[in-house]
């Protein structure tokens, strides 16, 4: 009887902890997902019209040149930023875990502070720094005798500003992941390498990097997803401009749904992009073997 009572208590405690999470998951993920899939087969306009039209929205998307351009622009933006998303936090983690560095707690705090900013606030801050007339960066350029740059009017420069902001606000979070990975590496490996005459750079590339592959896989996966769904940061900096040069897939879906009242079309685009995200995650997992040895 006691064993049955203990098992019942454990089971009850388990479900008491799990049910709230399941309820939140169902309300804020499964329900919106189901509604989005249903809306994708309708001409829902967000108000009165909601007729079933089959796969017409999907057919329209797959024959829309603007959709492909937006997806390609988003992929290029993601691929160009991924090396920085991995390299910068890794170098910062190596720095703050070095015994020769003084004030490591202060450095970690300063690097992590931008993570606490909302993407919109960070975007507005970066936008002010790169302002054309009164921006800090143009002010410094003028002091060095360089003509001020038209950050918001040049498509390449606007993309660079967004990339800088994206790496700035995420570096601290990914740095902590790498710090945890580095601290889990046995010190005996480095001592043995030192006895064998290995330099610090050799130990970094031969010991640290290979053993951090699982952490690198997590950083790679999270960075890819976050870059593909970049939205608030872009809104705070460029609003998708100039023109459509920084309009990525989430901006495209938002515009179709909330500005043009094509909720069915936007839902279909969201479903397609979700499938694309899953495919990319699977490819990354297969290519890196889940962070194991390639």
Tell me what pLDDT residue 291 has: 59
Give burial (CB, 10 Å; 0-12/13-18/19+) of 156: exposed
Predicted pLDDT of residue 294: 43
Q: What is the DSSP string of 127-144?
A: HHHT-TTT-HHHHHHHHT
Q: Please report the pLDDT score of residue 201 as a whole number.
A: 83
Which SS3 state, helix, strand or coil, does residue 294 take?
coil
pTM over 0.85: yes
Most confident residue range from 73-82, 141-150, 183-192, 276-285: 73-82
Q: How confident is the model at residue 136 (pLDDT cuts 50, 70, 90)?
A: confident
Summarize pLDDT for 157-193 with one digit per residue, the tens: 999 999 999 999 999 999 999 999 999 988 888 888 8
Pick the more confident residue, 200 or 19: 19
Q: Which two tokens stand for residue 66?
A: 């603007």
* pLDDT at residue 9 greater than cutoff 80: no
Residue 1: the pLDDT is 58
* % residues pLDDT > 90 (the chain): 48
Supply φ then ψ for residue 42, to 5 degrees: -130, 175
78 pLDDT higher than 60: yes
Nearest one of 50, 25, 65, 70 to 244, comparing CA atoms = 70
**Which residues are 52's β-sheet partners?**
42
The chain-wide mean pLDDT, for the chain, equals 88
Please check whether residue 182 is in contact with residue 147, taking contact to mean a CB–CB distance below 8 angstroms. Answer: no
Strand partners, 261: none
For 205-254, what is each residue's pLDDT tens digit?
888 899 999 999 999 999 999 999 999 889 888 888 888 899 999 999 99
Which CA distances in Å does 282 have to 105, 197, 279? 37, 40, 5
Gap between the Cα atoms of 138 and 148, Å rounded? 5
**Residue 293: pLDDT over 80:** no
pLDDT reported for residue 236: 85
Annotate 187-204 with b (16+ C-beta within 10 A) or e (fewer): eeebeebeeeebeeeebb
Largest CA distance in the chain: 85
Structure tokens at 294: 């390639």
Q: In this structure, which long-range contacts are made by residues 139-144, counting pairs with CB atoms below 8 Å and at least 24 apart in sequence?
A: none
Rounded to an integer, the average pLDDT of 283-291 is 75
pLDDT bracket for residue 5 (50, 70, 90): low
Phi, psi of 52 (to 5 degrees): -75, 125
């Amino acid at each position: 009887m006691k064993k049955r009572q203990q098992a019942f208590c454990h089971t009850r405690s388990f479900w008491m902890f799990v049910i709230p999470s399941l309820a939140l998951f169902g309300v804020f993920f499964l329900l919106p997902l189901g509604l989005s899939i249903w809306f994708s087969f309708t001409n829902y306009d967000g108000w009165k019209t909601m007729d079933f039209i089959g796969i017409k929205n999907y057919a329209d998307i797959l024959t829309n040149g603007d959709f492909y351009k937006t997806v390609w622009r988003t992929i290029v933006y993601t691929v160009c930023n991924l090396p920085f998303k991995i390299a910068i936090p890794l170098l910062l983690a190596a720095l703050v875990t070095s015994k020769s560095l003084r004030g490591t707690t202060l450095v970690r705090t300063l690097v992590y502070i931008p993570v606490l900013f909302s993407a919109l606030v960070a975007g507005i801050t970066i936008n002010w720094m790169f302002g054309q007339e009164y921006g800090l960066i143009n002010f410094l350029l003028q002091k060095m005798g360089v003509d001020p740059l038209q950050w918001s009017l040049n498509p390449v420069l606007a993309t660079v500003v967004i990339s800088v902001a994206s790496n700035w606000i995420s570096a601290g979070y990914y740095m902590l992941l790498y710090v945890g990975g580095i601290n889990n590496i046995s010190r005996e490996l480095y001592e043995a390498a030192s006895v064998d005459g290995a330099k610090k750079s050799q130990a970094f590339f031969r010991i640290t990097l290979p053993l951090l592959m699982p952490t690198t896989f997590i950083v790679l996966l999270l960075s890819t997803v976050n870059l593909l769904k970049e939205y608030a940061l872009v809104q705070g900096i460029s609003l998708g401009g100039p023109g459509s040069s920084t309009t990525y897939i989430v901006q495209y879906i938002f515009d179709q749904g909330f500005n043009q009242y094509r909720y069915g079309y936007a839902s279909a685009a969201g479903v397609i992009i979700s499938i694309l995200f899953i495919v990319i995650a699977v490819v990354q997992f297969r290519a890196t073997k889940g962070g194991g040895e390639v």
